[in-house]
């Protein structure tokens, strides 16, 4: 027969063991809860960091599209865009600039040389051939000798960007001012545009190729 004191001790021992098991179970549950909470916090932090990176990258990209131009002492904001959106505009301006340089002449050899030099930066050998042909026919010498000024006015420029190189046709009018008369001529040319690297001498990054003068005829003469 078990002694009452021993029996009580056994009961106390069992209680202590149960209590310790319960505490151990509570600690394990608490650890799991802490681990789960920590994982949630880590996931939330990762999401916040990813969102912050996305917003920062988007902001940097938007900022990169902004261009600030200094004009007359004032800062003006502009926006960059893909070149493909501006090809027709840049192509027409390149063609217009080329014709203005090539056909704007004054009775001054330095002015003629400077304008032709600028024009030849914008075109290939075909423009140089036209210049050499005019020069061999004393066209520029006659301008200087006769005190003649010549300018060109653009009517329209047609550019086909659906093929490459880009075909174009230029329509304009030449005004030739002589000492006794003003002659207006119809000017029609055609050629192609090829992409090249931009430079100070060629800011649009195009080169006129296979350039031909299709029409250059008098349409009106006015006495001075």
Looking at the DSSP assignment, which residues form a beta bridge with residue 207? 194
Contact by Cβ (8 Å): 65, 80: yes
Closest Cα to residue 208, out of 85, 118, 84? 118
Report how far apart, in Å, the C-alpha atoms of 108 and of each of 44, 57, 88, 105, 137 are.
Answer: 76, 56, 34, 8, 18
User: Tell me, what DSSP letter sits at residue 124?
Assistant: -
Q: How far apart, in whole angstroms, are the C-alpha atoms of residue 177 and residue 189?
A: 21
Second CATH level (architecture) for the domain 83-223: Roll (3.10)
State the Cα–Cα distance between residues 90 and 205, nearest whole angstrom.
9
Spatial contact of 206 and 122, defined as CB atoms under 8 Å apart = yes
How many CA within 13 A on the CB side of residue 107? 12
Structure tokens given for 81: 């865009």
Contact 191, 210 (CB under 8 A): yes
Beta bridge partners of 158: 169
On whether the CB atoms of residues 87 and 163 are closer than 8 A, the answer is: no
Confidence at residue 202, expressed as pLDDT on a 0 to 100 scale: 93
Residue 40, both tokens = 């949630």
Q: Which residues of 176-209 are buried (b: 16+ CB within 10 A; e: fewer)?
A: bebeeeebebbbebebbbeeeeeeeebebebbbb
Structural domain boundaries in the chain:
1-80, 83-223
Q: What are the pLDDT tens digits along the chain (224 aa)?
A: 545 555 555 555 656 555 555 655 566 676 677 778 778 888 888 888 888 888 887 777 666 555 555 555 555 555 555 556 688 999 999 999 999 999 999 999 999 999 999 999 999 999 999 999 999 999 999 999 999 999 999 999 999 999 899 999 999 999 999 999 999 999 999 999 999 999 999 999 999 999 999 999 999 999 98
134 strand-pairing partners = none
Name residue, tokens 């301008």. 143
First to last CA, the chain: 148
């Amino acid at each position: 027969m078990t002694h009452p004191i021993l029996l009580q001790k056994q009961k106390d021992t069992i209680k202590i063991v149960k209590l310790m098991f319960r505490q151990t179970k509570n600690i394990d549950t608490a650890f799991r809860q802490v681990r789960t909470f920590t994982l949630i916090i880590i996931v939330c932090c990762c999401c916040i960091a990813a969102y912050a990176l996305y917003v920062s990258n988007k902001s940097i990209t938007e900022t990169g599209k902004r261009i600030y131009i200094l004009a007359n002492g004032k800062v003006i904001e502009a926006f960059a865009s893909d070149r493909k959106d501006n090809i027709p505009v840049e192509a027409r301006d390149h063609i217009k600039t080329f014709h203005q340089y090539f056909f704007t002449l004054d009775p001054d050899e330095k002015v003629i040389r400077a304008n032709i030099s600028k024009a030849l930066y914008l075109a290939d050998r075909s423009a140089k051939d036209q210049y050499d042909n005019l020069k061999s026919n004393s066209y520029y010498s006659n301008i200087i000798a006769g005190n003649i000024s010549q300018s060109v006015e653009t009517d329209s420029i047609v550019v086909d960007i659906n093929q490459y190189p880009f075909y174009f046709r230029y329509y304009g009018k030449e005004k030739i001012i002589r000492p006794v008369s003003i002659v207006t001529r119809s000017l029609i040319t055609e050629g192609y545009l090829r992409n090249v690297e931009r430079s100070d001498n060629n800011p649009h990054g195009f080169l006129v190729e296979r350039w031909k003068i299709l029409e250059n005829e008098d349409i009106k003469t006015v006495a001075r």
